[in-house]
Amino acid sequence: MINNFSLILLIATLFSGIFWIIDCVLFSNKKNTDVIEEKFISIKLLEKLIQSISSLFPVLIVVFFFRSFCYEPFQIPSGSMMPTLLVGDFILVEKFSYGIKNPITHQTLISINKPKRGDIAVFRYPNNPKINYIKRIISIPGDKITYNPYSKTIKVNPACSNKKNCNELLQITYTNIEPSNFTRSLNENNSIIYQLSEDKYDENIGLRLNTRKETIGTITHDILLTNETRDQIDLYYQQDGQSPATWTVPEGQYFVMGDNRDNSLDSRYWGFVPESNFVGKAVVIWMSFKKQENMWPTGIRLNRIGVIN
Please indicate, yes or no, if residue 164 is contained in any of the structural domains. yes
Do residues 107 and 30 share a domain? Answer: no
Query: What would the pLDDT profile of 236-286 be if each residue is shown by its tens digit?
Result: 999 998 999 999 999 999 999 999 999 999 999 999 999 999 999 999 999
Number of domains into which the chain is organized: 2
Do residues 23 and 106 share a domain? Answer: no
Do residues 146 and 99 share a domain? Answer: yes
Do residues 74 and 50 share a domain? Answer: no
What is the rounded CA–CA span in Å between residue 235 and residue 176? 28
Do residues 153 and 38 share a domain? Answer: no
Among candidate residues 6, 16, 54, 135, the one labeled active-site is: 135
The residue ranking higher by pLDDT, 275 or 101, is 275
Do residues 171 and 229 share a domain? Answer: yes
What is the rounded CA–CA span in Å between residue 256 and residue 302? 29
Do residues 44 and 92 share a domain? Answer: no
Among candidate residues 16, 54, 80, 180, the one labeled active-site is: 80
- Long-range Cβ pairs for the range 68-77 (8 Å, 24+): 68/6, 68/95, 68/103, 69/95, 69/96, 69/100, 69/103, 70/94, 70/95, 70/96, 71/95, 71/283, 72/279, 72/280, 73/286, 74/122, 74/132, 74/134, 74/282, 76/134, 77/293
* Residue range(s) defining the domain that contains residue 292: 70-307
Please indicate, yes or no, if residue 65 is contained in any of the structural domains. no
What is the rounded CA–CA span in Å between residue 76 and residue 134? 8
Q: Is the pLDDT of residue 180 over 60?
A: yes
101 catalytically annotated: no
Q: What is the reported pTM? A: 0.83
Name which of 185, 254, 184 is nearest 225 in CA terms: 184
Give residue 122's identity as a one-letter amino acid code: V
Q: In this structure, what DSSP letter does residue 260 have?
A: B
Name residue 132's beta-bridge partners.
Answer: 124
Do residues 50 and 106 share a domain? Answer: no
135 catalytically annotated: yes
Q: Is the pLDDT of residue 1 over 50?
A: no
Domain boundary among 55, 82, 98: 55
pLDDT for 2 equals: 45
Q: Is the pLDDT of residue 196 over 80?
A: no
Q: How confident is the model at residue 304 (pLDDT cuts 50, 70, 90)?
A: very high
Do residues 51 and 79 share a domain? Answer: no
Of the candidate ranges 108-117, 120-129, 198-207, the one whose mean pLDDT is the lowest? 198-207
Do residues 113 and 19 share a domain? Answer: no
What is the rounded CA–CA span in Å between residue 122 and residue 234? 27
Please indicate, yes or no, if residue 276 is contained in any of the structural domains. yes
| CATH code, domain with 113 | 2.10.109.10
Query: What would the pLDDT profile of 28-73 be if each residue is shown by its tens digit?
Result: 655 455 555 545 555 667 677 777 777 777 787 888 787 888 899 9
Q: Is the pLDDT of residue 117 over 60?
A: yes
Q: In this structure, what DSSP letter does residue 66 have?
A: I
Please indicate, yes or no, if residue 51 is contained in any of the structural domains. yes
Please indicate, yes or no, if residue 64 is contained in any of the structural domains. no
Q: How confident is the model at residue 126 (pLDDT cuts 50, 70, 90)?
A: very high
Please indicate, yes or no, if residue 233 is contained in any of the structural domains. yes
| CA 156, chain centre distance (Å) | 24
